Amino acid sequence: MPNPAPSPAAPSPTAHGDSDAKVVKSESEWRSCLTPEQFRITREHGTERAFTGPYWDEKRAGLYSCVACGTPLFRSEAKYDSGTGWPSFFSPVSPDAVVTHEDTSHGMRRIEVRCASCESHLGHVFPDGPAPTGLRFCLNGTALKLAPDDGDTRGA
């Protein structure tokens, strides 16, 4: 069962929770509504190269949602420059907006972050972020869609 977002103390793959509205589509349905790169990142658990994806250097205020299903995930107020080349946040909009899973791919143990509504891969969470949570949600910009507060959709 998917796990809720980690507590502020540390990423925890053992806490359990569930989101109410689940989005379920076939592979062909996902392919028809996502670009090939969005599909690779969100459905095949891919990673964009650092400093190449959207939003890593984004400064506009707004709401970041899942590119696949539109679920609100992160606010710009929780975004910060981690120096990694990926959009980084210290907390989601709500604890149940994302779920975590243990990821042992590539010979390492990491905590994967997924959209709680559609299970799209977003990135990973690490316990080296700033206050107030100490967490760094290191995400693929390709998995996100920004709705700027001022309505400016350039690059969103």
Whole-number Å distance between alpha carbons of 112 and 35: 22
Do β-strands 98-103 and 88-89 pair in parallel, antiparallel, or remain unpaired? unpaired
CA distances from 5 to 31, 57, 83, 135, 156 (A): 27, 24, 23, 10, 25
Is 118 in the active site?
Answer: no
Q: What is the DSSP letter of 38?
A: H
Which of the following is catalytic: 69, 115, 118, 138?
138
Annotated catalytic residues are 138
